[in-house]
Structure 1
Amino acid sequence: MIMPRAAEKLLLPANPWFIGFSLLLALLVDMVPLGRLAWMPDLLAVVLAFWGVHQPRRVGVLWAFAFGLLIDVHDGAVLGQHALAYSALSFGAISLHRRMAWFSLAGQAVQILPLFVAAHVLTLLVRMAVGGMWPGWDVLLAPFLEAALWPVASALLLAPQRRAPDRDAHRPL
């Protein structure tokens, strides 16, 4: 069997503490009071999708739902708006996780882009269904920025797994 190019390098197992730290850090960055603009990428969505693709048994739909509720409470949004979007995004990422290893980082970003678009459309539909205001056409830019952040997230979040388990002069691997 021909192995995918992404599987050429063996990675160490992901540390659960690092996964939790990255999710918590993304949550805190999303909670920074910069004034939420429609075009701003949702960093928590990117990190949830990333771990859904790379560690589907550790970060699943339940974690996405819980983080979505936290964002809803923080933003004062309709309760369940982000929870629904993050859950759908996580489900889609978990569904794609076996296929994503066959693509390069740019190909992975293209594969994950429809999931980001669907998450933003769900959020927008829930907001509009309860009488919210139209955020403007700038909202169409956010999924593309999130897909553009995919290679950066891959480089940063897979870096601890790429290190050697224990360095030994007698063992070259």
Structure 2
Amino acid sequence: MNDPHYILLPANPLFIAFSLIIAFMLNLLPWGQWVGVPDFVALVLVFWNIHQPRKVGISVAFMMGLLMDVNAATLLGENALAYTLLSYFAIMIHRRVLWFPSGTQALHILPLLLLTQAVQLVIQLIVTGKFPHWYFFSESFISAILWPVVTWALLAPQRRAINRDDNRPI
């Protein structure tokens, strides 16, 4: 038996904004500087770029990148460029990715997250000349592992029925 395919309700713009704010707040926590802690803003951005590309686009990614630049006190535009590229490529492949189950979607998301980190690494190397550490890219792999959980959590409000009826399967 296959998993049921839900007819999703439209995404509430307030919920999208709330999820981006929560992701930003998670990145503000001091554990965000630890090795291997995923970039929650990038993860939520790529989710909404794939599921709602008309509501969350490149401009939202650029603004979130600027906020992360100010927060991390990095070169202004480093995260903005990385998130903009992430958003662009996520929107490019969003139709293909939605055909797969969430575990396989994570394999499609992993190169996008690695590209985001590679852009950040190149900018850091140009500016500082220092390579962070050999496990710098572990953040992308942990984010890809978290993809099914993020998908489940962010799609949960859209799965509920408007008028619940036991005789109707949807």
Q: Does 1:72 pair with 2:69? A: yes
Alpha-carbon distance change, 35 to 96 in structure 1, aligned in 2, over 3 angstroms: closer
The answer to whether the 8 Å contact 1:12/1:162 transfers is yes
Q: Equivalent residue for 1:166?
A: 163
Q: Does 1:82 pair with 2:82? A: no
Aligned-pair CA distance for 1:8: 2.6
Q: Deviations over 1:60-117 (max 9, x none)?
A: 0100010000010111001000001111111111111100121111110001110000
What is the RMSD of the two structures over their aligned residues, measured on CA atoms? 1.7
SS class of match (1:139) = coil
After TM superposition, the structure 1 stretch with the greater mean CA deviation from structure 2, 82-91 or 131-140, is: 131-140
The answer to whether the 8 Å contact 2:42/2:83 transfers is yes
Q: Does 1:9 pair with 2:6? A: yes
Mind listing any 5+ residue stretches in structure 2 that lack a counterpart? none
Q: Equivalent residue for 2:135?
A: 138
After TM superposition, the structure 1 stretch with the greater mean CA deviation from structure 2, 67-76 or 133-142, is: 133-142
The answer to whether the 8 Å contact 1:6/1:101 transfers is no
Alpha-carbon distance change, 115 to 132 in structure 1, aligned in 2, over 3 angstroms: same
Structure 1 CA distance for aligned equivalents of residues 32 and 45 of structure 2: 22
Q: Equivalent residue for 1:157?
A: 154
Aligned-pair CA distance for 1:38: 3.7
Q: Deviations over 1:30-82 (max 9, x none)?
A: 01123613422101100000000000000001000100000101110010000
Structure 2 CA distance for aligned equivalents of residues 19 and 37 of structure 1: 27
* Amino acid across the alignment from 1:75: A
Aligned-pair CA distance for 1:171: 4.9
Number of positions where the alignment pairs a residue of Structure 1 with one of Structure 2: 169
Structure 2 CA distance for aligned equivalents of residues 45 and 132 of structure 1: 24
Q: Does 1:116 pair with 2:113? A: yes
Structure 1 CA distance for aligned equivalents of residues 6 and 32 of structure 2: 41
Q: Equivalent residue for 1:95?
A: 92
Mind listing any 5+ residue stretches in structure 1 that lack a counterpart? none
Q: Does 1:21 pair with 2:18? A: yes
* Amino acid across the alignment from 1:12: L
Alpha-carbon distance change, 103 to 171 in structure 1, aligned in 2, over 3 angstroms: closer
Q: Equivalent residue for 1:56?
A: 53
| Runs of 4+ residues over 6 Å off in structure 1 | none
Q: Equivalent residue for 1:104?
A: 101
The answer to whether the 8 Å contact 2:26/2:32 transfers is no
Name the % identity. 46
After TM superposition, the structure 1 stretch with the greater mean CA deviation from structure 2, 67-76 or 130-139, is: 130-139
